[in-house]
Structure 1
Amino acid sequence: MFETTGTVIGNVVTTPVRRELPTGESVLTFRLGSTSRRRDAAGEWVDSGTLFITVTCWRRLAVGVDASLRRGDPVIAHGQWRTVEYRAKDGTDRRELELRAYAVGPDLSRCTTAVTRNSEHGSGSGPVSLIRNTCTGSSAEERARVSEDQGDARAVQSASSDRAETQPVDA
């Protein structure tokens, strides 16, 4: 209800570790470092401190991050902030900032990547199907192509016939 969400831009600083829980759910964690930069008196860029947080990914996000990201990769992570309290091996009480991620992806201002869409949930058909956009064309064209009651479907079909086949999105 009163979730505090945020986005962090940084680098993966530890190797992501994925585990399967007894319930069958996947969970993946990694540490993310975000270093702020500022100009000094001489006008040069200098590092101004690093924020280290633990990012936790669940279920399909865990599978996607495990297949895609490695230590050192530039990423953008968005999710819910949590404080995790625990007792360290030396007996001291500790608190750690955690981001329970809703979305994690590469920072395309600092790298390039190829996108592979998951199609593990089969394909739907008919006007009730949800369609994921391809990299070309607009989402309005895709919605019009799926819904029979929106515009002239023949015009949309012919305008987008040269594009790659779209993939369904599971609801």
Structure 2
Amino acid sequence: MYETYSTIVGRVISDPRRNRMANGDEVISFRMASNTRRRDRATGEWVDGNSLFLTVSCWRRLVAGVASAIEKGRPVIVHGAIHTNTYTTSDGESRTELEMIADSVGLDLARCVVEYRGRADSPAPRPADAQAAGVDSTGDATGAAA
């Protein structure tokens, strides 16, 4: 089977939900929306276009990072495999939704400013690399560049 990989830029529209599966694995999921906008040449005003809504599911190493950084309203960039889920509601209505199994999730730095903290399981940067990158020995960003 072929996977459909995509990168989507948008905004988180639900609080992330963290669940533990029967086998002990954890998953954290959130809904996001990606909207198009364009400037109307005649009026000079911004006009909203189409919207894409999808559920983003994050597994393994993504769970802790998403839990600490992603909240409703935050601008995000997600990358992963997209597929459709079909289900029946409690009212007997058939519905279809898009789901992305994320490989990467990040905050959109074009629309926000963040402070970087390295993961506890990542090696500390070497002193020469850290100085050049403006990072102290703990992996935290330093100075005005943070």
Provide TM-score, normalisation by structure 2. 0.82
CA pair 86-162 structure 1, distance change in 2 beyond 3 A: closer
Is the partner of 1:112 in helix, strand or coil?
coil
Q: CA contact under 8 A between 1:29 and 1:57: conserved in structure 2?
A: yes
Greater RCO (CA < 8 Å, at least 6 residues apart)? 2
Q: CA contact under 8 A between 1:80 and 1:101: conserved in structure 2?
A: yes
Indicate the RMSD between aligned Cα atoms, in angstroms. 2.2
1:77 lines up with 2:95 in the alignment: no
What amino acid maps onto 2:16 in structure 1?
P
Instruction: Quote the Cα distance in structure 1 between the aligned partners of 2:61 and 2:34.
Output: 25
Q: CA contact under 8 A between 1:26 and 1:60: conserved in structure 2?
A: no
Instruction: Quote the Cα distance in structure 2 between the aligned partners of 1:108 and 1:161.
Output: 22
* Percent identity over paired residues: 42
- Structure with the larger helix share: 1
Alignment of 1:59-70 (within 5 A): 59-70=60-71
Is the partner of 1:65 in helix, strand or coil?
helix
Residue 39 of structure 2: aligned partner = 39
What amino acid maps onto 1:6 in structure 2?
S
TM-superposed CA distance for 1:55, in Å, is 0.6
Q: CA contact under 8 A between 1:75 and 1:104: conserved in structure 2?
A: yes
TM-superposed CA distance for 1:64, in Å, is 0.9
Instruction: Quote the Cα distance in structure 2 between the aligned partners of 1:31 and 1:9.
Output: 13
Gaps of 5+ in 2: 140-146
Residue 57 of structure 1: aligned partner = 58
What amino acid maps onto 2:86 in structure 1?
E
Instruction: Quote the Cα distance in structure 2 between the aligned partners of 1:70 and 1:98.
Output: 18
Q: Which has the larger radius of gyration?
A: 1
CA pair 162-31 structure 1, distance change in 2 beyond 3 A: closer
What amino acid maps onto 1:89 in structure 2?
S
Structure 1 residues 106-162: Cα deviation after superposition (integer angstroms, max 9, x where no partner) = 0000001111111237x5xxxxxxxx7x5xxxxxxx7xxxxxxxxxxxxxx8xx277
What amino acid maps onto 2:45 in structure 1?
E
Instruction: Quote the Cα distance in structure 2 between the aligned partners of 1:162 and 1:56.
Output: 33
Residue 151 of structure 1: aligned partner = none
Provide TM-score, normalisation by structure 1. 0.71
What amino acid maps onto 1:34 in structure 2?
S
Q: CA contact under 8 A between 2:130 and 2:137: conserved in structure 1?
A: no
Gaps of 5+ in 1: 124-131, 135-141, 143-156
Instruction: Quote the Cα distance in structure 2 between the aligned partners of 1:33 and 1:165.
Output: 37
TM-superposed CA distance for 1:90, in Å, is 0.9
Instruction: Quote the Cα distance in structure 2 between the aligned partners of 1:19 and 1:37.
Output: 34
